[in-house]
Structure 1
Amino acid sequence: MYKGTIRLCYRKVIDVHSVKPWDKLVFEDTYNELLLQSQYYNQEKKYTSFSDLITHVPAAEKLHFLVSAAVIGYLQQLQGKVPDLLNSLGRLFLPFNNYRFEIINSDLLHKAKHQVAINFFSDHLEWLDTINNQLLLSIPGNLENGEQLTELFTIPPFVSVYSIKPTANHGAA
């Protein structure tokens, strides 16, 4: 039944249309941080779009990293659980151990064009089985009375298997 160890990646896109309070705060703070940090790379104010700025000032690629500082406090609020992804019981369950922030698009004059993504990478999970579009997973160390607990999870859009280490009898994936 055990198929291997996997890590999942969830890409959370946040833009002006995001409605959840957490998302709105991330949207506002990353836009404000971008305005602040981009001044160094755009001192003559020649560029207004993020794409023009990184095209003409290659060092501006650092803005992804610099603006990511604005989300650290919000990520701590998640208490190590990937947002939005619920198990079959409607509970947040997926632990993450790493993330990658990126600015997808933005405009220094038009906040409505600001769009960012946070890619959440799960801890290692035991992949037990696939049932239709659901994964049966076990989170190592998640025990109750000596039994390994499981999670049943429907795979939504923007989730992918990031890495896999198959069991010896399944060969390479």
Structure 2
Amino acid sequence: MRGIIKLVYTKVIDAGSAQAWDKHVFEDTHREFFMQAQQFDQQGRYETYQEMLTHIPRAENMSYLVSTAAAGHLKQLHNKFPDVLNTLGKTCVPFKNFKFEIVQSHVKNKALHKIAIHLYSDPLLWIDTIDKHLIFTPEEGHKKLISGEEIETHSIILLPNVGIGFFKILPP
């Protein structure tokens, strides 16, 4: 059974993140969190994101507002999932959409800042899964496959932070 899938990749970034891109996103999102916290809590009563969520009704907007600091960095990924490589060592999973989440943060202690970026792939034609290898091609490969044409495929190892977020069965 073949289907159209959209993968979701969750990139968690915190003070222990080692890659240069992650460090830049960490710094910029914490800086933006700090500025937004000053706007939402002008009296400075709350130090953590969770406290703000509990006591300030509008604080749920902070994830969206802080996401602007990460959005510019996403362009550097050239619309490909980072860290998810095919068997040839290349990034190959295209994405267009993302969701940003503040997992936790602290105004005064940057080491407690932790975010998650959920990247959603373009539609992909799922061909098969062999062991832990997901074999796919871009969605438009379906027409070529039906007509018997050769198609380029990719194989990635399914990692704990990569999942199938959406699935649609294709008719036989």
TM range (shorter): over 0.9
State whether residues 2 and 169 of structure 2, in contact with CA within 8 Å, keep that contact through their aligned partners in structure 1.
yes
How far does residue 147 in structure 1 lie from its aligned partner after superposition?
Answer: 3.1
Match of 2:51 in 1: 52
Give the CA deviation at 1:119.
0.1
1:90 is displaced (CA, Å) by 0.6
Tell me the percent identity: 40
When normalised by structure 2's length, the TM-score is 0.92
Per-residue CA deviations over 1:26-81 (Å, capped at 9, x if unaligned) read 00000000001111111110000110011100201100000001012110111111
1:1-173 aligned at under 5 Å gives the runs: 3-141=2-140, 147-169=150-172
**Cα drift, residue 137 of structure 1:** 0.4
Kindly provide the CA deviation profile for residues 86-108 of structure 1, in whole angstroms up to 9, marking residues without a partner as x: 00111000000100001000010
Cα deviation code 1:101-160 (max 9, x no counterpart): 0100001010000000000000000000110111110113579xx632100110011111
Aligned equivalents of 1:136, 1:126: Cα separation in 2? 9
Gaps in structure 1 of 5+ consecutive residues: none
| Separation (CA, whole Å) in 1 of partners of 2:42 and 2:136 | 50
Structure 1 window deviating more from structure 2 (132-141 vs 100-109): it is 132-141
CA distance in 1, matches of 2:69, 2:19: 17
**How far apart, CA to CA, are the structure 2 residues paired with 1:166 and 1:117?**
29
Runs of 4+ residues over 4 Å off in structure 1 = none
Verify the 8 A CA contact 1:141 1:148 in the aligned structure 2.
Answer: no
> Residue 12 of structure 2: SS of its match in structure 1?
strand
Structure 2 segments unaligned to the other structure (5+ residues): none
- 1:33 and 1:167 map into 2 onto residues whose CA distance is 43
What TM-score, normalized by structure 1, do the two folds share?
Answer: 0.92
- Aligned length in residues: 166
Whichever residue aligns with residue 72 of structure 1, its letter is: A
Distance 2:61 2:72 in 1: 20
Which whole-Å CA distance do the structure 2 matches of 1:72 and 1:37 have between them?
16
Deviates more, 1:146-155 or 1:126-135: 146-155
SS at match of 1:126: strand
Question: 1:159, 1:79 → 2: CA distance?
Answer: 18
